Amino acid sequence: MNSAVPPEMKANITKLYCAAYNESQKNKIITLLLITEECTIVASGKSPLEPDDFWILPLGSEKTSKEFFKHTPPSPDEIEYAINFIEDTIIPLKKLLPTNSELYSFSPVMQEIILQANKSLSSPKKVLSIKEMEDVFSRLAIIISGRPYSTDTLPESSSFAASLLILREFMHHLGFQNIIIEKSL
């Protein structure tokens, strides 16, 4: 595990990882994706007690939106620069993450993304497919191209756009077809 991580952060990551593991089909490999305001945390493993590995990436909903988005909605160029940075940050994980793992998240912004995909938060397992996520992203792309936010129900915050971008690039480049979204603990 990452020794430079404060003990309280390790404890929280382990708690969420264990909760995801307990929701999974036992004996599966899981990957936990947590998008916070300042960073993205990825934890992965097959142990029920703690992740085998975790990484803290410099991609957060607020951090990414402040660094790349000067407009609301972001301009196409701003989105492109953010995508390039996100890709460069996550692609090295492709060699490090175990294959065939289930992707989980407890991030509150994921609750909003799944609602935007017209999925109920009351269903027992909230699974968002890559296609459903892409449908939400396509709506954001239309707004970025000039359609007013008022024609859609998407949140107008740049941090939502950043979170959606992080999720999109993560799923695409690391080969996840679905993400299971759990309520925050």
Residues in the chain: 185
How does strand 126-129 pair with strand 53-57?
unpaired
* pLDDT for residue 168: 97
Residue 1 pLDDT grade (very low, low, confident, very high; cuts 50, 70, 90): very low
Q: What does the pLDDT average to over 90-95?
A: 96
Pull the structure tokens for residue 112.
């909003």
In this structure, are residues 63 and 38 in contact, taking their beta carbons and an 8 Å threshold? Answer: yes
How many CB atoms are closer than 10 A to CB 26? 8
Q: What does the pLDDT average to over 87-105?
A: 94
> 131-139 long-range contacts, Cβ below 8 Å, gap at least 24?
133/164, 133/167, 133/168, 133/171, 133/179, 134/168, 136/164, 137/164, 137/165, 137/168
Residue 185 pLDDT grade (very low, low, confident, very high; cuts 50, 70, 90): low
* pLDDT for residue 3: 46
Model confidence, pTM:
0.92
Edge-first strand listing for the sheet containing 53-57: 53-57, 40-45, 30-35, 102-105, 178-181, 126-129
How far is 32 from 150, CA to CA, in rounded Å? 33
Cβ neighbors of 138 (< 8 A, separation 6 or more) are: none
Q: What are phi and psi of 162, to 5 degrees?
A: -65, -45
* pLDDT for residue 172: 96
The per-residue pLDDT for range 144-158, each reduced to its tens digit, is 999 988 888 899 999
Percentage of the chain with pLDDT > 70?
92
Q: Give the HSE-up count for residue 70: Cα atoms under 13 Å, Cβ half-sphere.
A: 5
DSSP β-bridge partners for residue 131: none
